[in-house]
Each structure stands twice: as C-alpha cells, then as structure tokens.
Structure 1
C-alpha cells in the first residue's frame, strides 16, 4: 500500500497509457478491417495489425511529438522565464545554477545521488540526463515513425501502380511533414497555454498550480 501511495501518480498514468494504447489497437483494427471490407479484401487479425507498419507509424508519430514537447520545454526553462507562472523559475534565476544551488560536487548532501558527486563526463551526463533521455526517445520515435511511414507509403504506391520511393525522399515529402507538424503544433500550443493559463488560473491542491491566493505576478517559487 505504501508503494502504491508513494508512486500513485506515475502508476495511474501508466495504467491510463496502457488502457489508451490497447483501446487504440482495437479501434485501429476495426477501422482497418472496415477499409479492407470496402475494397473486398480479407480482414486481418489482431496480432497481425499491432505488428504492422500502419499501427507503428500512428503510435510513433504521437510519441515523438510528446517527447519533443518535453525536450524543448526542459531546455527552454533553463534560460527562459515567465513571470507569475508555476512552470517557470522566477526572473533573475535564468541559467544552469551554481554547484552550491544544484547540490553537486563538493556541495552534494549525504543523501544526494552518487553521480551528483562525480566530476567530468559522469557529472555532466547526470546533470543533463533528463534532457538527454527525452531527446533520445524523441529521435528514436521520430526515426521509427519515418521507417514505418516509409513502408506504408510504398505499400500505397504499389496498390496504385506507382514506383517505390526512397526513405530520404519520403522524409522530405509534404505528406510526412504535414503529419509531423500537425502533431508538433498542438503540443507546443498545449505547453504554451499551460504556462500562460497558470499565471491567472488556479487548481487547489495541484503541484502544477500556485496556491490559490498567490498574486498573479508571483511564481510558486517566490511564494514559498
């Protein structure tokens, strides 16, 4: 019970994610089989569908935009601030901070992570590990999306008697970037809206909101 309480937020979102992914797989299978039936083609099974390029491209397309969103947000909040937003540091705190502020090297506490005491490459890697992992997942998801999308595009070309295209030509095509930018713009809008709305709006009890009575121009950091 203590494990569930201490990890409730991550476990809840993991459960929601898995439920949504399974739901997407069944909805996608039904949609695919409806389209196949319209063309007089046999239906595909569940396992065949979830291992297909069609399913992978839809999943990876959303993953890469989400991780790009967080990568850019983490990077942006190092150097950029928004007065009054709980999503931002207070004005004047821009930058990576001193070793003393970040509790690294000689300033690490007894209970600090071991790599927080490390110097050189290990210390740099740990100090930037969140950004590195988010960026890596974005790049891998984008690459997976491009490979799966390339296969799907060539399958459609074959159905219409058109010659196959190379991976390079696919990732430079209008179709690929139309799908990609559709996802990116919505993610950037959501982050920007959260940053701005949280200046003036409140949600009592949420760590993503300032305390209800905090002035609009004060960040939650300044209010502490």
Structure 2
C-alpha cells in the first residue's frame, strides 16, 4: 500500500470522523433538550413539578433513551465485525470474496511500522487480533446495563407518581417493557445491516468506499 507524502490539512485528514462526531454531539444536545420538555410535559399530566435540565440529564428517562440507542448501535457493529469474518454474500460490496484470499486474513508480521501488539506477540497479539470485536462487545454490555438501569429508574418514578409500589431491578428485568425497548432498536439495526449488504449488490455510489465501482458487475463480490 502506498503512503501519501502530500501534506493535507487536519480537517482533510480527519473530516469523516469530525463531521460524524459533530453531528452526534448536536443530535445528543437536541435529544436532551426535547426529551427534557417531553418529560416535563408528562410530569405535568401526572400533577408533578417540572425538573431542571441538569436534573433531567441524571434522570432515568434520559439515561434509558440515550443508552437504549447506544446499545443497539454497538450490538450492530459487534455482530457486523465478527460475522463478516466467516459469512459471505455474493455480489455485495460488504462481503469478502467467495474464493480469493483477502488482505485482512493474512498473518500479521512484526515490523517498524506495525502496531506495538504485533511486535509484542503472544497473548497480547491474540487479544489485538480480536480487539475491534471485543471493544464493541464491551461497549454493548455497558450500554445494555445503563439502558436497563435508566429504564428501571424511570419505571419506578412513574410507579411513585401513580401511587404504585416500586419494582426491584430483577423483577423489572422480567417485564415486557425493557425488552420491548431493546428489540424495537435491535430489529432496526439488523435491518440496516441487511439493507447495505443486499443493496450494494445492485446499487452504486460513485466515490464511496462502501460501494463497488459503478461499472462492476452485480455478481462481483467485495470492493
């Protein structure tokens, strides 16, 4: 692989991550503000006093809504990373070749430009071989727990406002509400993966690394 010697601006070199991080922060702020207003409207209907934005950001309503979405995204990426190792889809730009050896399958070789775990070898390299999947899996489990915690806190808050007894987190885990929140997000993530896997067989986007070349045949697998 050729290394570019051209000097580029910081934004040119990092534009993709900077734009998506900026959009994430803006959307999270918008979610917090609109969620705060929605939550206070619900509290008003229950004849409860409104809460401040600072208090709302620590509430079960905000924590649950935020990590419910994080959870599904990290689950999507963990499964996508690990399942594309062994599974194929003929004609998809998101699949490895059906027959040819892929660059990502070659054994790592130590060298001055190789990441330090490659040069270290041993168990460190074994973990590094799967570090992307491990990270997404850990982030999924953390997000799943915080979603459960936030949803449980919000559930008990509603119980208190309605004069009902509070549930333990174990008891809440057996109820349909938490799992409904999870599955409605999980199914959308599975659909989005299936969509890009299948649609890249027939459709193109010139210049995108997520697409095959415009003139590539539909039966060509990989980029």
TM-score by length of 1: 0.90
Cα distance in 2 for residues equivalent to 1:97 and 1:59? 34
Higher relative contact order (CA 8 A, sep 6+): 2
Counterpart check, 1:37 vs 2:44? yes
Runs of 4+ in 1 over 4 A off after TM superposition: 93-98
Match of 1:28 among 35, 41, 44: 35
In structure 1, what is the equivalent of residue 211 of structure 2?
209
Q: CA RMSD in A?
A: 1.9
Q: Provide, for residues 81-130 of structure 1, a one-character-per-residue CA deviation record: whole Å limited to 9, x for no partner.
A: 111111110113699976xx14x1xx334311121223221011111110
In structure 2, what is the equivalent of residue 200 of structure 1?
202
In structure 1, what is the equivalent of residue 149 of structure 2?
147
CA shift, 1:161, in A, is: 2.7
TM-score by length of 2: 0.90
In structure 1, what is the equivalent of residue 161 of structure 2?
159
In structure 2, what is the equivalent of residue 76 of structure 1?
83
Match of 2:62 among 37, 40, 55: 55
In structure 1, what is the equivalent of residue 134 of structure 2?
132
Contact 1:89 1:219 in 2 (8 A): yes
CA shift, 1:220, in A, is: 3.6
Cα distance in 1 for residues equivalent to 2:166 and 2:123? 45
Name stretches of at least 5 consecutive residues in structure 1 with no aligned partner.
Answer: none
Contact 2:88 2:95 in 1 (8 A): yes
Aligned residue pairs total 216
Cα distance in 2 for residues equivalent to 1:96 and 1:174? 45
Contact 1:83 1:219 in 2 (8 A): yes
